[in-house]
Amino acid sequence: MFTRIARFVVESRQASLLDAVRLVWNLVGLVAFIQQERSRRNSIIIMDQGLLQGFWSVFLKSKCRKTSEKWLDMLSTLGVHDMVFVHLRSETGIARDRLQTRGDRSSRLQRTSPESDPDLWSAADRACREMAAALERSMGTEDHIGVLAAVDVEMFASPEDVAERALEAVLLACLDRHRLCDSPGQ
């Protein structure tokens, strides 16, 4: 999987070699974490900044979207059919405001000023929408990749409110999955 991730990142033509190394490191670390937790037979793994965000980070500043490695194929190889991905949806302005109020400056979106890269937030939004649409399409197939649970984030929603809605969405997605698995012919 390391080779596939490295090929995917390199072929995406990142802005710098340092960005490419960080992205490979991040994705490989996420995959290793999931594999380690699965080997322990943990039935529930909660990840903030998880797999989808890792792939989204690659798309954020990529100069080339067409690569020989497809991110959905890598997810499928990893075996994420039993995962629920939470998609926090909001207007770009709301996401920007919420991110700017965080003090950690860990995101590339926080460290880049609108003047230096005015298209970055548009690229971020486009990558997110494209990934969500691809996951939604895959959910309707027999060999689906996972479940996407969407949560709408309003401007004045507190982090606690958003977390509560995310938990509700995950629980509903899990219940739906079990209903499908328990139905005849599955």
**pLDDT single digits (tens) 52-72:** 889 999 998 899 988 999 998
- pLDDT at position 99 is 80
Cα torsion 112, 117, 121, 126 to 10°: value is: -130
The mean of the pLDDT values for the chain is: 84
- pLDDT at position 183 is 58
* Sequence-separated (6 or more) residues with CB below 8 Å from residue 54: 23, 26, 27, 30
User: Residue ranges of the chain with pLDDT lower than 50?
Assistant: none
Taking a C-beta distance cutoff of 8 angstroms, is the pair 169, 86 a contact? yes
Consecutive H or E run containing 148: strand 147-152
- pLDDT at position 18 is 93
Rounded CA separation 23/9 (Å): 7
- pLDDT at position 180 is 58
